[in-house]
Amino acid sequence: MNGVENWCTQFNLFMLTFFIFLKYIFVLIMFSVGFLTLYKIRGIYLRTRQEKIDPEEDRLKKPRLVLGFFYIFMAFGILFDFFTYFLIIVLDPLPDRFVFLFINFNGDLDPYISNRFENIEKCKYPHEKTIYYSIALCSFFFTLNLILSIWYLINNNRVISNPRKVMYNTIYSVSGTILFGCTTFLPFFL
């Protein structure tokens, strides 16, 4: 048992370091997505001026402009922590983290122990923190997938090559975000 606890302790230290680097990678992804969205608007604007394209395509600039600036704002907000606090406050009342309900699916687990899984500060043993870090990592990947799916849906010029795949990906990321929670990984970005 001591070997497993040592492995869990090392894994927990790795996950703390990994989430620090993951914050900056996430900021870089959000900044690049916002920049690419605004860069595409610039191309649409120049093409509209040169070729006199119909105003229907000109209306596509507004959601992209808002989305591009929102992603850049989100990147700087997460980098400087004010948007992270905002997300924690706003998203905390959402009914999420259903995976913690599945841990105690048959009712044999002591409620005190299951409460320790749900909050990292209440964890006593390294394996409890390992479970929480694993759930937080899944929460991050599903939330990132949801953000990129929304970007793809708005930024695709209303032409989706494979709509079934896009809908499966969106449903997959929404259900994963509900299952693992939106705010599970956010305290590690502070």
In this predicted structure, what is the pLDDT of residue 55? Answer: 59
Q: What is the pLDDT of residue 73?
A: 92
Cα–Cα distance measured from residue 187 to residue 140, given in angstroms and rounded to the nearest whole number? 11
What pLDDT was estimated at residue 29? 87
Say how far apart CA 137 and CA 154 lie, in whole Å.
26
Mean pLDDT comparison of 39-43, 58-62, 91-95, highest-scoring range: 91-95
Distance CA 190, CA 184 (A): 12
Q: Supply the pLDDT for residue 94.
A: 74
pLDDT greater than 80 at residue 61: no
CB count in 10 Å sphere of residue 101? 11
Q: Which of 161, 185, 180, 166 is nearest to 16 (CA)?
A: 185
**Which amino acid type is present at position 77?**
G
At residue 103, the pLDDT reads 64
Contact present, 86 and 73 (Cβ < 8 Å):
no
Q: How far apart are CA 177 and CA 70, in angstroms?
A: 20
- Rounded average pLDDT over 27-34: 88
Residue type, 135: I
pLDDT of residue 123: 77
Q: What is the pLDDT of residue 63?
A: 74
E strand spans, 14-164: none
Task: Report the distance separating Cα 134 and Cα 11, nearest Å.
Answer: 10
Average the pLDDT over each of 41-45, 79-83, 129-133 and give the range with the smallest value.
Answer: 41-45
- Band of pLDDT at residue 109, cut at 50, 70 and 90: low
Ramachandran class of 48: left when φ > 0, alpha when ψ lies in -120 to 50, beta otherwise: alpha
pLDDT at 139 over 80: yes
